[in-house]
Structure formats: C-alpha cells, structure tokens
Structure 1
Amino acid sequence: MAAERTLPNLWHATAPAAPETRPLSSDITVDVAIIGGGFTGLSAALHLAEKGVTAAVAEAKMIGFGGSGRNVGLVNAGMWTKPEDLIATLGKEVGTRLLRELGDGPSLVYQLVEKHDMPCEAVRNGTLHLAVGPEGVKDIQDRERQWKTFGAPVEVLDANRATALTGAEGFAGALLDRRAGTIQPLAYARGLARAALAAGAQIYTDTPLRSATRAGDLWKLSAGNGTITAKSVIVATNAYGDMLSQTPWTSYTQELTILPYFQFATTPLSDNLARSILPERQGCWDTGLVMTSFRMDQQNRLIFGSVGRLDTLAEGTHRAFAERSLRKLFPALGDIRFEYWWDGRIGMTTNNLPQMHVMAPNVFSVSGYNGRGIAPGTVFGRALANHVTGEPAALPILETPVTPDPWRSMKSAFYHVGAQAKHFIDRRF
C-alpha cells in the first residue's frame, strides 16, 4: 500500500481505544477469510460469528484504517443516485430490493450500536440535503417525490426552516431525511470489531495479504507472517485495495475512480455558538457542483469537508477555502482555528452504484459505495455473511463481472486538480 501523509485526524483523537489485536503469526484454518477491517469486513465478521461460523479478518494496517476511519460520519439511507434512476439501471425487482435494504440501512446501524453498547456519538435526528439555488431546490423536491413513493419519511423544508436547523446562511431549502443521522465513524468501526471479537471472530491487524492460491476446494492466503486457509473469502477493501496487487484479484481495484475528500475540524465552539449551529445535530451536505458537507461532533467541533486531497501542494488551497466557506455560512464564528484535518478516498463506480462480484470460486466482493459507506457497508457485510453461509435471502444486488474503467486514472486526477482549482477561486467575494 502506498505511503500516505500522517494528518491529525479527529476520529483517531476522540474514538475509544481499539480492541486489542495482533498480527497474524501462525497458520490458521477458518470457514471464511475476510480481507479488510472496515465497515463491510467487520459487519461480515460479526454476522458470521453470531451464526457460529468461524471467520478471520486480515487487515493490512489497523481497524478502520481506510474510509471507515476517514468518513464524514453521515449515516445516510439509500444511495446518492435517485430511486427512479437506480431502478432504471438495475431493473424494478433488484432496484426495489436494493432501495429497501439501504433505506433500512441506518436502522441496522443504530440497532447494532444499541445492541452492542458502542460508544460512538450516535445521533439519529436525520440529515439535511441543502439546496444551492433554484436548481438545488428542484433537485431536493424531485428526491422527496421519489422517496415518498417508497414511504420514506422525507420532507422538503423552505429556506427559513433550513436556516433555523443549520444556523447557516445562503441555502434555498433542505431535504430532511428522518431515517438518517450521524456517528463517530472510527468509533463505530472499533465497536463492530469489539462485538465481532466477543462473538468469536478473529481479527488480525498489521497483516497485509501477500498472495492467494487455490488448493482443491480451499483458498490458502499468505497474510502477515502466517497463512489463512478458508473455504470462502470476502474481499472488503473497496477504495483501499492496494493490498490486492499480489493476488489473482487485482482487477478489482481497476473499476473504481478515486474521489478524494478532505475535512477540517475547528476547536470546540463556545456554548452560545454551539446552540446556534445545528441545534438538533443533523449532518449536512449540499447540492453544489463540488459538494461540501458540515456537521458537529459531541465536543462541539464544527467539521467542514469537500472534494480534494490534502497533499503538500493542495492543503493550503483547501484550508483557505474551508475558512472562507465557514465564515460565509456562519458569520458569527469570528476567528476560525482548525484543530484537526484529514482526507480519504471515496470509491466511485461508472453507474454510481455498488458492484458485487464473484472474483473466483467462493471469493466475493462488494465495492463502490460512492460516498455512502456506513450504512451500505454494514448492510452488505451482513448480506455477504448470509450469502457465504447459504442463506436463502437474495443479495441486495446481482453479481456482475469486474469491468475495469479505462478512464479511472484520468478521472481521479481531474477530481483532484479540478477541486483544487475551484476551491482556489470559490467564495472569495
């Protein structure tokens, strides 16, 4: 895996300690091997262990190293794609099933949090999709109409109500989705890991996958300083699939365009300011061409995010944009000081929907959450656990072949450079 800059990540600073794990240093045999210790892999491990199925997670770095520890922390329902477009792409039967499963995704997340007593700042007061201008209002009105045909508790709010719920100036309205909420994402990932271990799963950290070979009906995975022999394998690395380069499944990473996303967190706000900004603690994102997001954490830090990577050349541009944006949205903030900043990767697919693959006999993967990792990762982890154990319930989506995107590198570079250029000029006046 390519080296990354070490940045001061708020979630790492405030999450409860991870459960004790260690690198794999021996040869083990389990029913299911899981590659990747994020939302999907840990959800799969937990649900398998609760069925009495032996499972081992091999994580190249630490629990939640990838997107699960860099997430905005919005527990959204559904996908970014509108319901009618999703059904047009997948067909009525599969599309309706996926909408139902992911529409109920936040409920599954919050049920697991409660069941396993996970300290992860879970708040379920909904999310706000904020409209930028008249076109944004049309967009959220269309989303409201489509989701209501599925009985979803969504509501378009006018500009005054949007201002009252956010404390922010300049939005033309908002779509309130009461199914959704916010969470401390790394704390949730660590909570899943702790619950999985308690149920009997094995988790090995600092254990990169080195190779995978087929021996009869079994897979033999060389990982860390040992081997895992298993009948089935779940590949759950998504946008952080660099570790697969030495395996037969390397093409898995070639279908994802990487969309970088950064976040800046302020120092804790005063009580007066904290009461005026997001008083009900909804998480927010907007309809802008280059999306931005903001939310509060439990310690009253205001967290602002947008598209872009915090490399040494781009960090200053994105930092200045974040400062200008917060001053424009919340003029009462005054002097803005950032205490934490970090970035991550979002795995985007060509149709903006997750892809489920059978990479080889008994090797299963799901990739491409397109910015919706928490609830879909939890849902698909459970679905894959059910699938590998022969549960009759249908998967939320159908299997498709891996289809590498020949433009992925160019698109990834465009997102990085384009966001930097836009943020250099945006909100200066």
Structure 2
Amino acid sequence: MKNRCLWYDTSLEPAPMLERLNEKLTAEVTVIGGGITGLSTALHLAEAGVDVLLIEAGEIPSGGSGRSVGLVNAGLWIPPDDILETLGQEDGERANTLLGGAPAEVFSLIERHAIDCDATRTGTLHLAHNTKGEGDLARRAEQFQRRGAPVELLGGDDCYQRVGTRRIRRALLDHRAGTINPAAYTRGLARAAVKAGARLYTNSPACGVTRHAEDWLVMTTTGSVRAPRVVFATNAYTEDHWNRVRDHFFPGHFFQVASPPLPEELAGDILPEGQGAWDTRMVLSSMRRDAEGRLILGSLGRGEGRPVAWIRCWADRIQRHYFPQLGKMDWECTWTGRIAFTPEHTLRLFEPAPGILGVTGFNGRGVTTGTIVGKGFAHYLVTGDDSLLPLPIRSHRPVRARPLWSSGYESGFTLYHTGQCLRVVT
C-alpha cells in the first residue's frame, strides 16, 4: 500500500501548464489559493470581465480540493433545523437554500465547461449504523422533506440493493447529490478559468500582504501582484500568521484507502448505482467506488505518518464489517487531506481588512460549498451584493485555543479507530 492520492493518478482531466510568478504585476482582484474556492472565484470573475490573477503555493491541485472523498453533497454537515438554531432564522434558511442547490451548480459547471471528472448524479447515501442512527436519519429526512428536498428514506431490501450490505437497515438517499473525481474537477475549473481570461500562477506561495496606497500588494518569493481587492481562499491549508483566515478554524484531517479495481462479478452489488456513502458513527466511515471499480474507504483523522499496518487493520475491519463477501482485500494506496473545522460546524465569511475577503470552515463540504462561495464572492466583488453567498459577510471572533481543538479531535479519532481495530468498537 503506497502513500499517494488515487485521484491524481486517475484524473483524466489534464493539469493546465502554468508558470511561477516571476514579475511585478497588477490586477483588479488577486486570489490567493488555487483550490475549488479560489478557482471558482477566478472563473466567475473572469467570466464577468474582471482582470483577476490567482496564485497557488503548489501545483493544482495540491491541497484538500483534490484529496477529498469527492462527494457532491447538499447543505451543511448539521441538519437544516440545527442550522437555523445556530445561525438564526434568516441566515439559516439562506444557507439551507443556497447550499441545498449547490450540487446543481457543481454539475452545471461540469457540463458547461466539459470537465472530465467521472461525475455521477445518482445521489449520496447516509447510512444508519445502529438504532440511534436510524432515528437521526428519520429526523433529517423529515426536515429535508419539509423544505421540499428530494430525499428518500430507504429500508429493507430497497436499502440492501442500493448499498450492498445487510449491516445497514436504513439509509437516507439524497437525489440532489452525486460524486466526482475531485482532483479532475479542480483541474477542470483551472482550465476553464484560464480559458475565460484569468491569469493563474503555480508554485508561487504568498509570503505577505501589505497596504500600498489604495491597493494591496501581495508578495511571493519571486514576484508580486498589486490589486485593490484580495480574496483569501486558503482554507484548511492556511499556515502563515499574516493570513487572518488562520484565526477562524482549527485543522483536522481525513484519510482514505483504495483497493485495486475489483471485478464486477465480485463487487457489482456494492453501491451498484455509483452513490457515495457515509455512516452515522461517532467517527464516520465513508465508502464509495471509483470509475474503475475500486472500493474506497475513509474516515476522520490523520493517516499520514501512521504505520501502514495500522491503516490496513482499520480498512480490513470496516470492509469485513460491511462487505464480508469481498473476502481478504489488498489495498492499493492511502492518502490524507485537511479539513477546516469550526466549533459551530458552519462556515465563516468575513472581511479582515477593507478590500480583503476571507472564508473558511467548510467542515468537510468543500466541493459544493467552495464552488458556491467562489461564485458568490465574484458576484459581491462585481456588484457589492452578497446575496449569492450562503451567509452574509460579517466579523467573527477568532477561534480560541485552536491547538487544543485540533489535538482533542485527533486524539478522539485515533482512540476510536484503535477501538475499531481491537474490536472494542463495533
């Protein structure tokens, strides 16, 4: 089992040929970060005729945008009524509405720009792993259906036929959702942005932002760009102290393992319609198959730096629990990506200084939320109207004790997974 990201290896969408920023340039808007959020912002700005320049510290993709499970999910992590309780009636319904329509926006971009990312639109499945989980799914289904969302609570043989395991008795099917190869989607957004007129530079890490008359000067190791407006789209990979996004989330991780392609006669009944899935465990397990028939399992926590035997033990445990019909499995590769968490489990949109926009806290919903936020940022920068953003732009208090949040989460994840390996946790 090798440490490498499957999505990079299997992406049919070529990475655009981009150069390092080696000059002093000007633009109307500078975007820092070449993930889904930054690229969606650059693409929509360029389509509106704005001179936009994006810089990315590594290649595209190199962060979480290309390393996720690739679920195109609707909404936030927490249920719709909980969103209202956290954000208030007006802001909560705004977030529910805009993010409920986010999968359609992603698939529209894929179709409009002919992005080859193995997209499926057969929905996603939330799996109840026990009786308590069944109650949670029933509650979510009622809340979604009350708002007119096309979700369906499955049970019995219908559930088994969609998932392929007798371990799950209830599943919530969200027909709005689907799956993609996230690295291919990110590369496709980059290609579309360049075609629309955006200027993109890779291997150009920003090393500081300073005020320069009426503009902001963004400096890199080998160049600079001056612009009146700047977008910080660095999210979970924000590390520099000068980048105020860093103050508004605590980092977490999500690791995955992938099998070699499985023959259809062996695995054809596992998620046969191509849905991605995750369960209701305290520390969730995700599962999906890719376009070549691999089984991909994942969970919260850091995989990088762990012994391969530990990761293999966890993967074997989950596979044998849900899909024992596969017998003994080989695992082809493993990889880890970062997640930006917030204590309230919702995103934060803010303006840390006049002319600078920032966002973070996607809490594991980066594919759809990043796409929508990018479109909303572009609309706001062009018109001054923030109504296409899932939440208003406002000030937030920094997250206190960020290292404690991160270490607490990671310790809990590790303990839970160890319990699974030791069969203490079922």
Q: Does 1:417 align with 2:402?
A: no
CA distance in 2, matches of 1:315, 1:85: 38
387, 391, 396: which is aligned to 1:397?
Answer: 391
126, 145, 162: which is aligned to 1:129?
Answer: 126
Deviates more, 1:378-387 or 1:319-328: 319-328
* Corresponding residue of 2:238: 241
Q: CA deviation at 1:98?
A: 1.3
Amino acid at match of 1:22: E
Structure 1 residues 393, 401: closer, same or farther in 2, change over 3 A? Answer: closer
Q: Does 1:14 align with 2:7?
A: no
Q: CA deviation at 1:81?
A: 1.2
Alpha carbons 2:248, 2:348 under 8 Å: kept: no
* Corresponding residue of 1:377: 370
Q: Does 1:365 align with 2:361?
A: no
CA distance in 1, matches of 2:395, 2:249: 14
Q: Does 1:160 align with 2:157?
A: yes
SS in 2 for 1:269: coil
Alpha carbons 2:245, 2:359 under 8 Å: kept: no
Q: CA deviation at 1:318?
A: 2.8
Alpha carbons 1:134, 1:172 under 8 Å: kept: no
273, 276, 280: which is aligned to 1:283?
Answer: 276
> Deviations along 1:362-418, whole A, 9 cap, x unmatched?
100111000100011000000001111125352321223242222321221122222
Written as runs of structure 1 = structure 2, the 5 A alignment for 1:340-351 is 340-351=333-344
* Corresponding residue of 2:82: 85
CA distance in 2, matches of 1:412, 1:90: 23
* Corresponding residue of 1:263: 256
Runs of 4+ that moved beyond 6 A: none
> Deviations along 1:326-384, whole A, 9 cap, x unmatched?
02211111221111110011111111000001011110011100010001100000000
SS in 1 for 2:3: coil
* Corresponding residue of 1:65: 62
Amino acid at match of 2:269: S
Written as runs of structure 1 = structure 2, the 5 A alignment for 1:315-326 is 315-326=308-319
Corresponding pairs, count: 420
Amino acid at match of 1:42: L
SS in 1 for 2:54: strand
User: RMSD over aligned Cα, in angstroms?
Assistant: 1.4
* Corresponding residue of 2:178: 181
Calculate percent identity across the aligned residue pairs.
41
> Deviations along 1:249-294, whole A, 9 cap, x unmatched?
3x42122122211000000001212321111010000110111100
> Deviations along 1:201-247, whole A, 9 cap, x unmatched?
011100000111111220011124111111100100100001x33x3
Alpha carbons 2:377, 2:386 under 8 Å: kept: no
SS in 1 for 2:273: coil
CA distance in 1, matches of 2:186, 2:156: 35
CA distance in 2, matches of 1:37, 1:265: 26
Q: CA deviation at 1:427?
A: 5.7
SS in 1 for 2:385: coil
Q: CA deviation at 1:57?
A: 0.8
Alpha carbons 2:386, 2:392 under 8 Å: kept: no
Alpha carbons 1:129, 1:175 under 8 Å: kept: yes
* Corresponding residue of 1:333: 326
106, 109, 114: which is aligned to 1:112?
Answer: 109
* Corresponding residue of 1:3: none
Alpha carbons 1:260, 1:343 under 8 Å: kept: yes
Structure 1 residues 218, 73: closer, same or farther in 2, change over 3 A? Answer: same
CA distance in 1, matches of 2:8, 2:396: 33
Q: Does 1:26 align with 2:23?
A: yes
Alpha carbons 1:161, 1:173 under 8 Å: kept: no
SS in 1 for 2:92: helix
> Deviations along 1:288-311, whole A, 9 cap, x unmatched?
011110000000001000112123
CA distance in 2, matches of 1:427, 1:309: 16
SS in 2 for 1:129: strand
Q: CA deviation at 1:8?
A: 1.1
Q: CA deviation at 1:320?
A: 0.7
- TM value normalised by structure 2: 0.96
Q: CA deviation at 1:159?
A: 4.0
SS in 2 for 1:156: strand
CA distance in 2, matches of 1:40, 1:168: 36
Q: CA deviation at 1:322?
A: 0.9
- TM value normalised by structure 1: 0.95
Alpha carbons 2:351, 2:357 under 8 Å: kept: yes
Q: CA deviation at 1:96?
A: 1.2
